[in-house]
Each structure stands twice: as structure tokens, then as C-alpha cells.
Amino acid sequence: GPVLVPILGDQLTRDLASLRGRTKEDTVVLMMEVWDEATYVRHHKQKIVLVFSAMRHFAAELRDAGWTVDYVKLTDEDNAGGFTGEVARAIERHGPRAVHIVEAGEWRVQQQIEEWPDKFDCEVDILSDDRFVSSLSEFRDWAEDRDTLRMEFFYREMRRKTGLLMDGDKPEGGEWNYDSENRKPPKEGLEAPQRPLFEPDDITRACIALVEERFGDHFGSPENFGWPVTRDEAEQAADAFFAERIECFGPFQDAMVHGQDDLFHSMLSTSINLGLLDPLDLCRRAEQAYKEGKAPLNSVEGFIRQLIGWREYIRGFYWLHMPHLRRANALNAQRGLPEFFWTGETDMRCLADCIRSTRDNAHAHHIQRLMVLGNFCLIAGISPREVQDWYLVVYADAYEWVELPNVAAMILYADGGKLASKPYAASGNYINKMSNYCSDCAYSVSKKTGDGACPFNSLYWHFMDRHRDKLESNHRIGRIYSNWDRMGEDRQRDYLDTAEAFLDTLKPADSGWARAD
Ligand code: FAD
Ligand code: DLZ
Ligand code: SF4
């Protein structure tokens, strides 16, 4: 028989390791829409539309190129509902001599795949996913040699390995990292060019109808769906970024403007994570823009660092710490996720805007995820399991391998500081500096305690106070305790009472939406 090549929903890459070198005559590609994947969390409607539509387009593209593709739709009568069951059925249909599959991005799915060699009667080859700069074994070797892992040092290795922005063995411009130039607050009236939105075609419209019918009660609306669903569209999105936005990407990377959802971000994560765009190729294009004088070094270095630094580091970290990362809770946070994370109904203008963007676009940009939503969950002490599942549900680019380290380790410090050297806790002052949210907020950012005070201000000290035993010895954060001590007991009591009064007003979301296991 032929070789059966199952391709998962985030493996939509023409040059995938399992396709490379295969002949069309001798291969059956298998793609599966399955209930398990669509429902392991109650994904945002746009996320399901995106994955299904991109899968269907990819299958069509392979067929046009002469491949045999066996495509199982969600609504097919005998759909087994999961990958293992569907591969078993496909083995019966095609009688393959072997199954070749690229390892899964997520631990949950990889566990299933690793059972296949025992379950199935034919040879099963699990290939490594080489769409990353660093292989998992390379990352393990790098990590094993060190007591503490820091992205910055890993990133330098990746710069050397790829040669990106290298001047011989020195970093271009003399510095590895230009982050200090990338913290410009938004100027009055800061506006970015509109990113291209892609009009749904017949395939996408069919997916929207399917999602409305089967997943009608999921979060969000597919109404203004405009994500790229093919490699061509993703390339157009990348072209627009390199032509119009990369120049300002660096300086305004941490800026937030009410109602301006994308600013100068690339908005390419959904396409990269699906496999439609190659991150290394994007880095080379960014480097080229710098060489041609079209973008400054701080923008280009910043963009490249997100991709070969953070993205790769996050992935390595995930595989190093699964499965226990999902249960980590170093700060013992137990509070339920507030209901307003689903409704957006809060007087905190920053949170309301970030949640609105999340609902409308299945996207929020990095600093919104980190310093508004994430910071709030950290200092309000929301349970990591609930925060994790929320992020996995709401973002169209969310896969556990990239979501979980960002949530558990980067924002919640649930790993006790293995990934980040300190918790990213901040008061309202930071948000005020980097955004225009506060001027029209019902709360006053300059008011520290009492009625109408910005909740971030009191929650910040409540957080610091309740975790003093763990944080005081941290050299990056410990010093702030002398400020706290200097306030004196009455002032401290004001802060703690204000925070507690606020926390008492939080209504938790109905349970049942987060994963039980
Ligand atoms: P840009 O700002 O244009 O950045 C360029 C690219 O760099 C992104 O497309 C992405 O591929 C990569 N990148 C940047 N930061 C990170 C990071 N911290 N980790 C990994 N890759 C990064 N990204 C996801 O792809 N999926 C997620 O589920 C996800 N969850 C996140 C959760 C939290 C709490 C935080 C703080 C960040 C999360 N990120 C996640 C990272 C980042 O916020 C998004 O990648 C980014 O907002 C996507 O928009 P963009 O393509 O415009 O990014
Ligand atoms: C996210 C997702 C969804 C919603 N549905 C499917 C699906 O039906 N079939 C599929 O192959 N992939 C889907 N995906 C993406 C998978 O969850 C993704 O491939 C995993 O991260 C693999 O580890
Ligand atoms: Fe957010 Fe506080 Fe500013 Fe309001 S005042 S927008 S709650 S940081």
C-alpha cells in the first residue's frame, strides 16, 4: 500500500517534513476535522473558522498540485471524533504500508500519536517538526547546561546559528538587544495603517455557517472574520507589514491606544502558527528591510527577537516542563476568573478595551495580553488553570505550546520564576504611561486608595504584600519593599482595604467552561 501522511491543522506547510521527498503516486495525505480538537476548549468562533478554512484551502492546494488527499469533514457520517480513531479508519480504507506523521505541537496530541506504533498494524514514523530554528533536543542540551534559563542568552545563540543581524561574530550595531529604544508611549493621535482584511470566500463562508450551527454558543462572533486562510493571503499580509508598519514596529511595540487594535504589530501569528508562513523567512525579510534602509535596526531586531528568541524559547520551555506546567501554581492563586472577561463589562477602561478587541478580533496585541489582562490576573490572584483556558479559548493564534508558557510562566509566575526573572506586576502608572486608556476611565489612575482609585494601584501592593515571603529575596523586585515599609501601617492598611473591597466586587464567571482535568 501507499504511505499515509496525516497532516494536522497547524501543519499546513507545503514543505512539511512528512511530505518532503515523497512521491505523489505513493502517498495518501489525510486531513481530519475532528470534534475532540474543536472542543477540548470552547474556542473562539473565529479560531475554529480559521483552522477549518485554512485546512480546507490547504487540501485544495495539495490536490491542485497533484496529491491524493483524503479529507474528513466534521460532519461526515462516520467521523470518529478524534485523531486516533480517524487514522484507524483511514488505515482500513487505504491499507498503507506506513504512516508518516510530524510530531504534534501540543503535548495532549503528541500523547495520542505516541500510542500509534502499538495500536496500528503498520509501521509508524513520527518525524520531528523542523519548522523551528532550534530542535527540541538542541534546546534540551542548551537548557541542561544551565541553572537558570534566560531568553536573552538563548536568543544570542539563535542569532549566531542563523547569522541574522550578525556582523561577523558581533551583533549588528554593537548591541544584541535594542529594547530600551522600543518603549515609546503613544503620541497624541498615533494611528497605524489598516492591515489587509481578507473577504471570506465560499470555503470560509461554509466554515462560518458550520461554526454558527455547531458552535453557536462559543465566545465571539465570526462576523468580521478577515484572517488570511491561504499561504497567498498570508504573504499579502506579510507584504503589507513590511511595506507599511515595520518601521514603527519597534518604537511603539509597547504602546496601547483605545480602539486601535493592531497598531504596528505584524498580525502574522495566526498564519505563522498554522504553518502558512515560515518565521525564518520573515526574519530574513525584516533583515533585508534594515539593509535597504527601509526600517531602523531597533524595529528589525525587535521583530527578529520575537520570532527566533521568544517564540523558539517558549516552545523549548513548554516541552521541557510538560506535563506539570499545566498544574503549576507557585503563588497558590485560587480566585475564579471574573465574569467580565467574557462580557467586557467593567468600568476599568483598559481591561474593557482589551477584552472588546479580544472578542471582536480573536486577537489582542502583546502588551495588552501581558500588562493589562495578564497583569490583572497576576495581581488579582486568578487561578492559573482558569487563566490558561481563557487565553487558549479566546485567541485565534492560541495553541497550548505557545499559550501555556506565556500564561503560566510569563504572566502568572506560576512556575516560580523558571522562565522570567520576576513577576510582571505593575500599578496603574505603567498603563497610564503606555496608553491613552486612563484619561477617560471611571477610575482615577492618580488616586491610590479609597473610592474611585484605580484598582491596579491597590492590587499591586496587595500582591506585593501577600507574596512578600517569596518575592523579597528577588534581586529585581525586592527593593520595593523598602517603599512599602516606609509608608507606615495606616497607609498600608488603606491600600489593603481598598484592594480587598475591590476584590469583593468581582463576580466569578459561571464554572463549567474551563477544563476539568
Ligand atoms: P508581533 O508583535 O508582530 O510579533 C511578531 C511575532 O513574534 C508574533 O507573530 C509571534 O509569532 C512572535 N511572538 C511575539 N511574542 C511572542 C511570545 N511571547 N511568545 C511566542 N511568540 C511570540 N502568541 C501566540 O502565537 N499564541 C498564543 O497563544 C499566545 N499567547 C500569549 C499569551 C500571553 C499571556 C502573552 C503575554 C503572549 C502570548 N502570545 C501568544 C505572544 C504574543 O502576544 C502574540 O504572538 C502576538 O500578540 C501576536 O500578534 P502579532 O503577530 O501581531 O505579533
Ligand atoms: C485548533 C484545531 C481545531 C479547532 N480543529 C482541528 C481539527 O479539527 N483538526 C485538526 O487537525 N486540527 C485542529 N486544530 C488544530 C490542532 O489542535 C493542532 O494541530 C494541535 O495543536 C496539534 O498538536
Ligand atoms: Fe486601567 Fe486604572 Fe487606567 Fe482605568 S485608571 S484605564 S483601570 S489603569
The alpha carbon of 62 and the centre of ligand 1 are apart by a number of angstroms equal to: 29
Residue 146's pLDDT is what? 87
* DSSP states along 234-270: HHHHHHHIIIIIHHHHTTTTT-BBTTB-STT----HH
d(CA 75, CA 502): 47
Structure confidence by residue, pLDDT tens digits, 323-353: 999 999 999 999 999 999 999 999 999 999 9
Q: Is 274 in the pocket of ligand 2 (CB under 6 A)?
A: no
Closest among 122, 108, 134, 112 to 1, alpha carbons compared: 122
Structure confidence by residue, pLDDT tens digits, 162-206: 999 999 999 999 999 999 999 999 988 899 999 999 999 999 999
Q: Which ligand is nearest to the CA of 313?
A: 1
The alpha carbon of 167 and the centre of ligand 1 are apart by a number of angstroms equal to: 28
Site residues for ligand 3, CB cut-off 6 Å: 348-350, 428, 431-432, 437-438, 441, 443, 445, 454-456
Residue 375's pLDDT is what? 98
Structure confidence by residue, pLDDT tens digits, 296-319: 999 999 999 999 999 999 999 999
Burial class (CB in 10 A: 0-12, 13-18, 19+), 517: exposed
d(CA 250, CA 242): 13
Structure confidence by residue, pLDDT tens digits, 429-468: 999 999 999 999 999 999 999 999 999 999 999 999 999 9
d(CA 470, CA 477): 11
Closest among 223, 166, 217 to 200, alpha carbons compared: 223
Q: What global pTM score does this model have?
A: 0.98
CB 97 within 8 A of CB 2: yes
d(CA 471, CA 351): 26
Mean pLDDT of the chain: 96
d(CA 427, CA 375): 9
d(CA 363, CA 357): 6
ipTM value for the complex: 0.99
d(CA 33, CA 56): 9
Average pLDDT over residues 82-93: 98
Q: Which ligand is nearest to the CA of 318?
A: 1
d(CA 77, CA 343): 36
Q: pLDDT class for 231, splitting at 50, 70, 90? A: very high
Q: Which ligand is nearest to the CA of 454?
A: 3
Probe target for ligand 3 pocket from 257, 432, 434, with the most ligand atoms within 8 Å of CB: 432
Probe target for ligand 2 pocket from 37, 47, 87, with the most ligand atoms within 8 Å of CB: 37
**Is the predicted pLDDT of residue 23 greater than 80, yes or no?**
yes
